[in-house]
Structure 1
Amino acid sequence: MTSDFQPEKAIVRAFHAELATATPDTVGGILASHVASDWHWRGMHPFHEQHGARAVATAFWEPLLGAMTRLQRRPDIFMAGLNEIDGFKGSWVVQMGHLMGLFDRPFLGIRPTGRIVMLRFVEFNRIEDGRIAETAMFVDLPHLMIQAGQDPFPPQTGAHLVQPGPMTHAGLMYDMQDPAEGHATLAAINAMLNNPFSSVDGVDEETRLKRVWHDDMIWWGPAGIGASYTISRYIKQHCEPFDDALHDGYRFNGHLCRMAEGQFGGFFGWANLTIQNAGGYLGMTAGPGPSEMRVVDLYRAQDGKLAENWIFIDILHYLALQGLDVLGRMASITEY
């Protein structure tokens, strides 16, 4: 397997550099000059799946650039690798960080503040024949709503923060990395995925997690859930509320991409999980039927275990499948 992803990284960096100059009027042309004609783009609710540069510009970039003045990209992680899910054939480049701008005009019914906002994002790009052929773009819209003073959720079990990048400040891997380190990181991620979180042999959950996580792990959860620090607080502030409310009809659907480079790696699915809300989670009553969660996990590994985990969950999609249109409610308030 190749360990030289510099050409793929250069393609994405050139794309991001030109996108930084985009306006609502020019962004469609900029996208078209970097992506394949049949570009498959996946975005969180309400953007969902789009095909081709014009559709993506209309659905996502034009409204965002129209709402945010002087939008800038502030990455914390940049990495590339081969996709384990397709037998290490597809080359993917991943970036995570914040899109920062002045929130000057309404966006998806969210009322502007005229102040700085930091929109958490993670972007997976598959490169093929010198172009971006496939993208998953996750943004934390509830995080934006909270910054704008329009929190749609009851109090979080974890902490709400504008999340920092890796503690080591080593996430921007513009140069080649040692392939052995990437293999070790992917092995640590797979060990976590294969480690049961529920007690099946009399071993408690905290002991199980310590097999694959450092004790002082940091779980950077999405808005609506929040961040947790240490295994014990992660169990109390995320695992227990999640398991108590979402145990019915739980099904893991798999991932579309899972890769690693250096100390960092991650995956996304579409949708990763099918679940049934038994009541109470994120303030919802019991769901009338199954819902689903589209999830991104990025990790930092250290000494064979996982030390940090950044999570993106399409919570608005999860709620919409249960009959709660959060953005529609915001829009109606704005119009009123």
Structure 2
Amino acid sequence: TLLAANTLSVTKDGKTEELTAKNIIIATGARARDLPFAPADGKRIWTYRHAMVPPEMPKKLLVIGSGAIGIEFASFYNDMGADVTVVEMLDRIVPVEDADVSAFLEKSLTKQGMTIMTGAGVESLKATATAVSATIKGNDGKVVTSEFTHCIVAIGIVPNTENIGLEALGVEMDRGFLKTDANCRTDVPGLWAIGDITAPPWLAHKASHEGVIAAETIAGGHPHAMDSLNIPGCTYCHPQVASVGLTEAKAKEAGYDVKIGNFPFMGNGKAIALGEAEGFIKTVFDAKTGELLGAHMVGAEVTELIQGYTIGKTAELVEADFMHTVFPHPTLSEMMHESVLGAYGKMLHM
């Protein structure tokens, strides 16, 4: 427990001691958010932790929530042969992604046999020794009760910030998440915070990078400040999803006049050779300056490809830099080049 900005009380085996330091970094992480009316029991109702070490293979699986975690497990268990239903309250799956990606992914997962219900909500969930009964209200207002063998609840996370002394110190928080500046400082001098207890995106690589920023700043260095728009997001479903920066809709909301490039996997020789010809790469540019505002991908190995755009975005490259870069042939990365060229009417292979 934090007694002060530089003092920590630690209790172990009934013994308590105090540790002091000029700086303390809080990295207590987060846990899965439970449904208030049906907490996870690890038997029939699972969180992501239970889903990673399942006691048995689900035959008929309900996944509540279609963010990265929900869709990853839904896709995995569908590939393993389970009958999977996904329920999402919003009007599309993976709602933080570009709308075109959401639409493509939903069509692909449905084609693979998954049942996807958007604009729907689970009104009750009751577990027995052998099944889970769910009452689901669809987007048409109809309420249906269905039985599943298991359920994964993937409706977000809760930061582990309770009962560690933060309230007494008056640390500024937002719904339990600590507010920090771009170098991971809280508003209490000497107290720093990184990872899933801070603002989104809640990703392992973002947390690790925050640790570097905090440590180097404490040591007197001058690291690049955190910019969440330069953090790539990856969803390891089938097909994969990856993105960085603003979606087309968010860019327009921010007032940008945009140029959009979109290149399909079907136009790429390597994708066809791999037998992975479904997917696309979409790029969003500022029409006035040529700045790369965002990149969005769905398809094979896009979680590897996204780093090219992430480097470009971090380095503040413009459209000409991407256009004049030579991409090796035959590779999936050529689609990145084509997408950029397409945004400016210069596509070569379509």
TM range (shorter): under 0.3
TM-score (norm 1): 0.23
TM-score (norm 2): 0.22
